[in-house]
Amino acid sequence: MIKKIGIVANIEKEKSVEYTFRLREWSTQKGVEVLLDEEIARKMGESAGLERKKLASHVDLLVVLGGDGTLLRTVRFVSEYDIPIVGVNLGEFGFLTEVNLNEMYSALELILKGEYKTEKRIMLDISLHLQAETIRQESILNDVVITRGNLSRILDLETTLDGGYLTTFRADGIIISTPTGSTAYSLSAGGPIIFPEEDSFIINPICPHTLTNRPIIIPDGVEIKVILWTKEQGATVTLDGQLSYTMKSGDSMIIKKSRYVTNLVSSPHRDYMEILRTKLGWGGSPSGTGRS
């Protein structure tokens, strides 16, 4: 039973204050208590907002107003809490923010009645080891990317699976993605689309020097280690397209399945196939598409 909801909003989006205010009013009329993230609360001139981790610990449902980037950023803060998250896109609907703004109230009406389902999306735990010291650990939903940045030469990326040598990719970089992230950068780099509830990861080299280096789908229980070998400095690590670090030759990264999952509430109005067709511009209809 949902008695409290938390609202996180992208304060850079036009009318985010207005939409937050309206959603709070509507929810209150439904007898649901509403708590706000501290950023949108300040934007609204209020002082009762909560830091995101604390917000997640106090509510039964988290509503994220923004785009896929806003949802990815929110997930990093609240991943340790087993809380359902519904994404409402303030522009066109996304792969993660499945609910359109014009259907927000009809979707939430069903959700508050308990007429919804969630998808458990696996996450990645990233340990970044620079100069033999672990300097950063993060849990992310989409992908980790190593790219050559401003380097003119390709990167040598030694890759092992559970300690066993796979290969050394000579490429512009490498993408390691969850099924959720398969429709992000990995897709642009020629990777496969994997349905989001599958238990697997993608290792996808970017513009490999050896054309036989192709994307690989591996079980999600495998631990991946990547060591950068290059005489030049400046290779860049990016997590979910939002956090960025610099690696030097000999630095390494360990990627494995996180113990956390992201519980995304599915849109009551469309399924994943419709999202794929719309976002990727696939044509066709259920009938009338056969060859004559």
Choice among 37, 60, 68, 162 that is catalytic: 68
CA distances to 70, 137, 225, 254 from 78, in Å: 13, 15, 26, 22
Of residues 181, 176, 192, 194, the one with CA closest to residue 72: 181
68 is an active site residue: yes
Amino acid at 201: F
CA distance 267 to 78: 21
The packing angle between helices 104-112 and 16-29, to 10°, is 40
CA distance 55 to 77: 10
Contact 209, 219 (CB under 8 A): no
Of residues 238, 286, 270, 287, the one with CA closest to residue 69: 238
Annotated catalytic residues are 68
